[in-house]
A and B are shown apart, each in its own frame.
Chain A
């Protein structure tokens, strides 16, 4: 069992000083808008990822009129207790301690205390451009495979070099063919590696997402998910050759794995154009829960689930399926926020397992 048992917040967001205990594995948090439900979830996220789940600077998480914050957490992992502390000093320097020892590189911490957060804003994964979906896959793959991130960083660096090269070529109206060939071959090597890894991973992952969707929606809605890459039909080498003139004209690289996407279709039509709010939300859950399952399988224990405002926009039936899954089958500790105390309590009673209810 992996769970958060205690958390203490000092000058974090809207909390002056407050501490919470979580004895059970189902925790409901209720309160009015702006009472700090999401902030409490984000504090747990902070301890798992050393940063906020929202893309904002650390300094913005300090309570108004104060300097610095501190989050203290006690986690249970394999029957052992671990103490995690995240401190933002007055000078905006962040410190992170695990069992009293501070990290020199925060990246070492990531993956040790996994958690999956589902928040309303995450729907951008489905409605926004392909970048969001690549980011989702990359984040997940980087947590699972050590060399993936490293190759991806290298790919992006070479891509930048190649794009600058194309810009210079346009300015001077001629270019060094040999240098382009070298840059191409470097880009190819990294690009093919990433393509293979993504393909391998998504071959297993996308059917899982579909299965999750069906179990939440109770019907398949004729949904299809596919990994789309320009490399599916041509080799990367051919693509670079074919597009050379266009690349030179546009002064940037138009082909490669940085254009990959996941195509989501509902009855052969683009999902985001015709799907309802509820269907979008169901699919978002399917993605997140499939990520949860993958992490669980590979890490050997269930990550903590943080569900923010999930009761909105899902019908009763879908909600029941979802709660049944996260609270009973998943084997994870679950945090759920809602504005209605009664709705939360009734759902928990129906499940019939021990729970904590925290009012803010």
Chain B
């Protein structure tokens, strides 16, 4: 791409660093900013810079936060003895959107996968173990992706905390709600049959 201004070119290159953004889209964004008032761009870049500069990670659950402790951990209305273990921030947002969970979280930052060079040391596992010990947590809910690496991580953490007096559960795996049985894949359907649920428990929800 040929540009008449190196200032423009630099800006386009910066935008093109984002995942999923190519040069053409980057150019569109930059031209959009050019069309608008100068103050809008200033506000925009200041917001971004402040976000990066001032953001903190919650000392308790590793969630992004404005303060040392995030708003979820600081909320006294939430059940503090219930921890939901997730991979990343996006999972927190997804679970929060269900409005079905009122405990706290613990963000691991990934799952154990030696193949990708991720061992237990690179994750927030030690901090989780210490947290459970310190806080006398009653229940730990694993909400990790249902694959082999997710399972490895669950077993690993379970082994670390098996001596604590803490209930360990995992989110259900099975047929998607509102789905059609005939379109469910065989693996999922087979598992759902194996781990079937008593109806009285099912109805009470």
**How far is B155's CA from A113's CA once the two chains are assembled, in angstroms?**
42
Which B residues are CB-close (under 8 A) to A185?
155
0/1 string, B152-170, CB within 8 A of A gives 1: 1001100110000000000
**How far is B153's CA from A161's CA once the two chains are assembled, in angstroms?**
12
0/1 string, A130-169, CB within 8 A of B gives 1: 0000000000000000110010001001101110110110
Whether A183 sits at the interface, judged by CB under 8 Å, is: yes
Given contacts A168-B119, A182-B159, whether A161 and B148 have CB atoms under 8 Å apart is yes
Interface residues on B, range: 10 to 19
Contact check, B114 vs A162: say whether CB atoms are below 8 A apart. yes
Contact check, A186 vs B113: say whether CB atoms are below 8 A apart. no
Among residues of B, the one whose C-beta sits closest to the C-beta of A168 is B114
Which A residues are CB-close (under 8 A) to B159?
178, 181-182
Instruction: Tally the A-B contacts, defined by beta carbons under 8 Å.
Output: 45
Chain A interface helix/strand/loop/mixed: helix
Q: How far is the CB of A111 from the nearest CB of chain B, in Å?
A: 13
Among residues of B, the one whose C-beta sits closest to the C-beta of A175 is B119
0/1 string, A181-200, CB within 8 A of B gives 1: 11101100000000000000
**How far is B190's CA from A179's CA once the two chains are assembled, in angstroms?**
29
Chain B 96-144 residues near chain A, CB threshold 8 A: 112-115, 117, 119-121
Which A residues are CB-close (under 8 A) to B186?
146
Chain A 101-142 residues near chain B, CB threshold 8 A: none
Contact check, B156 vs A157: say whether CB atoms are below 8 A apart. no
Which A residues are CB-close (under 8 A) to B190?
147
Whether A176 sits at the interface, judged by CB under 8 Å, is: yes
Which B residues are CB-close (under 8 A) to A150?
187
Among residues of B, the one whose C-beta sits closest to the C-beta of A158 is B148
**How far is B122's CA from A176's CA once the two chains are assembled, in angstroms?**
13
Which A residues are CB-close (under 8 A) to B115?
160-161, 164
Which A residues are CB-close (under 8 A) to B156?
178-179, 182
Partner of A182 from the list B113, B152, B187 (CB cut-off 8 Å) is B152
Which B residues are CB-close (under 8 A) to A146?
186
Which A residues are CB-close (under 8 A) to B114?
161-162, 164-165, 167-168
A-B interface, 9 closest residue pairs, ranked by CB to CB distance from nearest: A164-B114, A165-B114, A182-B155, A164-B115, A182-B156, A161-B114, A157-B148, A161-B115, A160-B115
Residues of chain A whose beta carbon lies under 8 Å from any beta carbon of chain B: 146-147, 150, 154, 157-158, 160-162, 164-165, 167-168, 176, 178-179, 181-183, 185-186
- Known contacts A146-B186, A162-B114; 18 additional CB pairs below 8 A are A157-B148, A161-B114, A161-B115, A164-B114, A164-B115, A164-B117, A168-B114, A168-B117, A168-B119, A176-B119, A176-B120, A179-B152, A179-B156, A182-B156, A185-B155, A186-B148, A186-B151, A186-B155
A-B CB contact pairs (8 Å), 19 listed: A147-B190, A154-B148, A158-B148, A160-B115, A161-B115, A161-B152, A162-B114, A168-B114, A168-B117, A176-B121, A178-B160, A181-B159, A182-B152, A182-B155, A182-B159, A183-B152, A185-B155, A186-B151, A186-B152
